[in-house]
Amino acid sequence: MHEYPITACWDEEASVWTASSEDVLGLCLEAETLDGLISEARVLIPELLALNGQLSDDAAIPIPFRVTSERTATTRVQ
């Protein structure tokens, strides 16, 4: 079973998580939290896979995806 990789990055300027995937054409997500982003992905991934003809007719099959996140932070010596 194919696991779809999703890349999530923190947008410091907009204060949101964004996500995309080369394997799920058209996937472009934005949410205030990483959990919110994953919730949105659970809804959108099957819809996009179906629209792109990448989903079999068996809608009951699970669609695994892996979210890899990246966030940069800074600190100072106290």
The pLDDT value recorded for residue 55 is 81
Q: Would you state the pLDDT for residue 59?
A: 64
In this prediction the pTM is 0.84
Give the pairing type, strands 65-70 and 16-20. Answer: unpaired
Structure confidence by residue, pLDDT tens digits, 13-65? 999 999 999 999 999 999 999 999 999 999 999 999 999 998 876 667 899 99
- With a cut of 80, say whether residue 1 has pLDDT above it: no
The structural domains of the chain, with segments of one domain joined by +, span: 4-63
Distance CA 42, CA 39 (A): 5
Q: In CATH, which superfamily holds the domain spanning 4-63?
A: TTHA1013-like (3.30.2390.10)
